[in-house]
Amino acid sequence: MSQRWHGPLEPAGTCRWRIPETYRDFMRVPGLIYAHEDMLDALRQDQAPEQVAHVASLPGIVKASLAMPDIHYGYGFSIGGVAATDARDGVIVPGGIGYDINCGVRLLRSDLTKDEVSKHAEAVVNELYTSIPSGVGSRGPLRLDASALKRVLEKGAHWAVEEGYGEPDDLEYCEEGGCMEGAQETALSQRARKRGLSQQGTLGSGNHFLEMGIVDEVFDDKGARALDLFPDQVVFMVHSGSRGLGHQVCSDFLNVMGSAVKKYDIKIPDRQLACAPLASQEGQDYFAAMAAAANYAWANRQIMTHWVRQAVARALHQSAGECRLKLVYDVAHNIAKRETHTVDGEMQDLCVHRKGATRAFGPGRPEVPARYREWGQPVLVPGDMGTASYVLLGTQRAMEETFGSTCHGAGRRMSRTAAKKRVDGRQLKKDLASRGIFVRAGSAASLAEEAPDAYKDVHTVVTTVEQAGISRIVARLRPLGVVKG
Amino acid sequence: MIDSDRDHYTLLEHTADVKIRARGDSFALTLRHLAGGLFDILYDAAPAGEKNRRTLSVEAWDRASLVVNFLNELLYWIEEELIHPTAVNVLAVSDRGLTFILEWQEAQTPPAYEIKAATYHDLVVEDHLIEVVFDL
């Protein structure tokens, strides 16, 4: 396990801890970690705060290297890391996005209530498990040819809807409308494209999941009404990303960036932070490839959404129309975006990296769907499979402090190896079933790795971002059934 | 996986991921044991069927990227070709190039993990010692 971190954490306001710029010679800006005081001991248990300091060294970084309360040890960036670089002379960092480009989560609401569904919960989970390919290296019934893949990469979720996977309304409720501009298929290697041919419409493994849950408690009546959420309402979540195609893009460009740091004489404290100026050819090529991979991920979640609608209808012996599963929102939590933010009183064009962090735009931003604009952007924060997930809204404070960013999940606190040693997957499945949570997983081992005990307390994480003012808690969701990859 | 690899690698804990430390009498042997460790954590069941061999090469621009590219090459073949590699035999290695024979059989089960990639994070590359974090 990584060594304990002994660096400075200075109080910087409610749930805010600063790593001063003077901590390391290479820091250009301070680090700022959002954490409750009770989290500090856990925060120091590994070198994640050192990674926050490392990110502060990036050329063109603006204001601070940020980390959300679900921070944990990553590679290059910490998980939960946010960094904005100046689009004119700053860098873009593949390690600030990660291997699973546009890993993200979407929430579907239904008109169904807990009472209508609870006795069918096991049937719904079984139907989801058999309808949607999941597990290690999962491949689905879709086989794209080169032409179709090109359209996926350039059109994202729009391609899926055009092909009959979902409803046109779905697109309005995705970040970027489910399609990032600037994507270029030609920016991907042949190997990356090959990996994309057979994995569209697949969940994958690891922490990816499908979940059926209910709205367990509403904390913000007006916010919940804006999102059409109500107590005991049945909801569904889909968590997946860009699969092997995204992994290959990241690996390919780490090689490119390895040479770019020498070419542009960029000094970095960790090779996983290899980068290039956004305006350089290498930076533009990476942005085009990353956007294409992000589009692949949006299409992937859109296709699975369609299959979720069909599976739920089959399990409940209804038509998909009767189930009325409507998309609340789809968020990306591993991505870099060109965004405009006010910095020191002036509008600035930035490249905002979110690595295990969620965009959380506040009220009034044009990027937020018109229906939600008065309230702020919905934020989806999955917890662990035995506890809860949360729906939040972005705030003006987030716009002012975090480039409109917040947490993305509970954050791991136990390694996968440790979780497998401590948790018996079969017993866990029984324990969860006894609490009314039906789980289907690829293997007992993969279930054990994702055990609730392996994660931090999601309540503390979302309470922290609310106390810090960078999000508002709207509702808590409780799982009824989970499909793990 | 050959028995001798098992004595030459260790699994180290990492919060979200897997880390392998391999040791060997030479850089080529250290790479071989590192690959053996990777195969061992990926498969619980023994492979079956005909034994296959393929000669593969990777290029890089220094030793660190050579190790990362070598491991990512193995991961690509595992995921894309659905094979169960059993051993790596290094034919030639320099700081910028590696040629090796990959031996494999038919996988009886999917790999235990979907490993996204070998990373540069906390990477240690010496003649007789390599440590690598894999992103899961």
Cβ–Cβ below 8 Å for B110 and A442: yes
Cβ–Cβ below 8 Å for A415 and B111: no
Give residue B15's pLDDT. Answer: 67
C-alpha distances in Å from residue B12, one per residue of B9, B20, B132: 10, 6, 10
Give residue B61's pLDDT. Answer: 87
Chain B residues touching chain A at CB-CB below 8 Å: 11-18, 60-61, 64-65, 68-69, 72, 76, 79-80, 82, 110-114, 116-117, 119-123, 133, 135-136
Mean pLDDT across the stretch B26-54?
A: 93
Quickly state the pLDDT bin for A415 (edges 50, 70, 90): confident
pLDDT > 50? residue A339 = yes
Give residue A151's pLDDT. Answer: 98
Give residue B2's pLDDT. Answer: 47
Task: Please report, as a single letter, which amino acid is at residue A143.
Answer: R
pLDDT tens digits for A382-392? 999 999 999 99
C-alpha distances in Å from residue A187, one per residue of A65, A98, A261, A285, B108: 29, 17, 19, 6, 36
pLDDT tens digits for A236-272? 999 999 999 999 999 999 999 999 999 999 999 999 9
pLDDT tens digits for A402-414? 999 999 999 888 8
Chain B CB contacts of A204 under 8 Å are: 114
C-alpha A19/C-alpha A1 separation (Å) is 23
Residues ≥6 apart with Cβ < 8 Å to A368: A361, A376, A377, A394
pLDDT tens digits for A29-73? 999 999 999 999 999 998 999 999 999 999 999 999 999 999 998
Higher-pLDDT residue of A334 and A386 is: A334
**Domain spanning B3-135, CATH class:** alpha beta
> What's the gap in Å between the CA of B90 and the closest CA on chain A?
22
Task: Enumerate residues 252 to 271 of chain A having a beta carbon within 8 A of any beta carbon in chain B.
Answer: 254-255, 258-259, 270-271
Question: How many residues appear in chain B?
Answer: 136
pLDDT tens digits for A304-316? 999 999 999 999 9
Quickly state the pLDDT bin for A178 (edges 50, 70, 90): very high
> What's the gap in Å between the CA of B46 and the closest CA on chain A?
17
Give residue A93's pLDDT. Answer: 98
* Domain range summary for chain B, segments of one domain joined by +: 3-135
Quickly state the pLDDT bin for B4 (edges 50, 70, 90): low
- The enclosing H or E element of A476 equals strand A471-484
Give residue B108's pLDDT. Answer: 87
C-alpha distances in Å from residue A313, one per residue of A323, A336, A418, A481: 6, 36, 39, 16
Considering CB atoms only, which of A258, A270, A413 is closest to B65?
A: A258
Quickly state the pLDDT bin for B45 (edges 50, 70, 90): confident
Mean pLDDT across the stretch A153-161?
A: 98
Task: Please report, as a single letter, which amino acid is at residue B128.
Answer: H
Mean pLDDT of chain A: 95
Measured between CA atoms, the residue of chain A closest to residue B113 is: A136
> What's the gap in Å between the CA of B24 and the closest CA on chain A?
23
Phi, psi of B129 (to 5 degrees): -150, 130
Give yes or no for A240 touching B (CB within 8 A): no
- Testing the interface with B: which of A416, A443, A455 to mutate, by most B Cβ within 10 A? A416
> What's the gap in Å between the CA of A13 and the closest CA on chain B?
28
**Is A408 tagged catalytic?**
yes
Range scoring the smallest mean pLDDT among A98-102, A248-252, A295-299, A382-386: A382-386
ipTM for the complex? 0.92
pLDDT > 90? residue A183 = yes
Question: How many A/B residue pairs have CB atoms within 8 Å?
Answer: 103
Q: Residues A81, A71: contact at Cβ < 8 Å?
A: yes
- The enclosing H or E element of A127 equals helix A121-131
Chain A CB contacts of B76 under 8 Å are: 191, 195, 248
Cβ–Cβ below 8 Å for A205 and B113: yes
Question: How many residues appear in chain A?
Answer: 485
Q: Estimate to the nearest angstrom the gap between the alpha carbon of B23 and the chain centroid.
A: 13
Chain B CB contacts of A46 under 8 Å are: 15
Give yes or no for A31 touching B (CB within 8 A): no
Percentage of residues in chain A having pLDDT higher than 70: 100
**DSSP tag of B47:** P
Task: Enumerate residues 152 to 171 of chain A having a beta carbon within 8 A of any beta carbon in chain B.
Answer: none
Give residue B122's pLDDT. Answer: 87
Cite the DSSP H helix spans in A363-439: 396-401, 416-422, 425-434
Measured between CA atoms, the residue of chain A closest to residue B15 is: A415
pLDDT > 50? residue A435 = yes
Task: Enumerate residues 179 to 218 of chain A having a beta carbon within 8 A of any beta carbon in chain B.
Answer: 191, 194-195, 204-206
Superfamily name with CATH number, domain A10-413+455-484: tRNA-splicing ligase RtcB (3.90.1860.10)
In the set A239, A247, A353, A408, the catalytic residue is: A408
Give residue A297's pLDDT. Answer: 98
Cβ–Cβ below 8 Å for A415 and B117: no
Residue among A297, A181, A209, A204 at smallest CA distance from A250: A297
Cβ–Cβ below 8 Å for B121 and A270: yes
Give residue A240's pLDDT. Answer: 97
C-alpha B18/C-alpha A77 separation (Å) is 17
C-alpha distances in Å from residue A159, one per residue of A141, A282, A462, B19: 17, 27, 34, 38
* Domain range summary for chain A, segments of one domain joined by +: 10-413+455-484
Give residue B1's pLDDT. Answer: 46
C-alpha A282/C-alpha A116 separation (Å) is 54
Give residue A96's pLDDT. Answer: 98
Give residue B113's pLDDT. Answer: 85
Chain A CB contacts of B12 under 8 Å are: 1
- Testing the interface with A: which of B21, B116, B125 to mutate, by most A Cβ within 10 A? B116
Give residue A322's pLDDT. Answer: 79
Q: What do you get for the CA distance between the two ends of chain A, in Å?
A: 26
Cite the DSSP H helix spans in B13-120: 27-42, 63-81
pLDDT > 60? residue B3 = no
